[in-house]
Amino acid sequence: MIKNRWVIDMDLRDIKEFLKDAFKYIVTAIVVIFIFLYVVTIQQVIGPSMSPTLSNKDIVVLNKMHYRFFKVKRFDIVALEYEDTKYLIKRVIGLPGEKVEYKNNELYVNNKILKEEFLKEGIKTDDFSIKDLHVESIPKDMYLVLGDNRENSMDSREIGFVLKKDILGKVIVKFWPITEFKLVR
């Protein structure tokens, strides 16, 4: 009789330990799911539009919370939603209220030349003005975005300005291929 009682007590202790361990794993899984749903996510670059900064099939980490606390800045690389199902990765060139144009392969913002240090030698940007989009300056809560591969990019020159609400987050890290791991700027 006593022997059976000891076995039952032991089983209850084992069950309690199992439940404690299972609870830790469940909480960890919930935290990881929360982080991937609301804080960061992984995106794959599709196409050559951000080359050479990002290449086709590169995998990047996207910080989805960044723009809840910070403003969108010029030259940030962002992921944005386009036409409900398509996600694009582009670089922010123009901010709300600005007048932007390209002349002779140079970026002018409010009539001042800005250097695009991230562009590789030989990348050409055709002449373009936001007046081509039928506005004098970029509307409130909208952004002008371009791909780094200006000659092969579907961007604001084609799709128009991007609403702030359509920006999913800031690209912060390129982690695949692993041999090209780097912080994205």
Number of neighbouring beta carbons within 10 Å of residue 98: 15
Measured CA to CA, the distance from residue 98 to residue 143 in angstroms comes to: 9
Nearest to 156 by CA among 94, 103, 99, 104: 94
Residue type, 178: I
Residue 137 appears among annotated catalytic residues: no
Residue 182 appears among annotated catalytic residues: no
4, HSE (Cβ side, Cα atoms, 13 Å): 1
- Annotated active-site residue in 90, 153, 156, 170: 90
Task: Supply the Cα-derived Rg of the chain in whole angstroms.
Answer: 24
Positions marked active-site? 49, 90
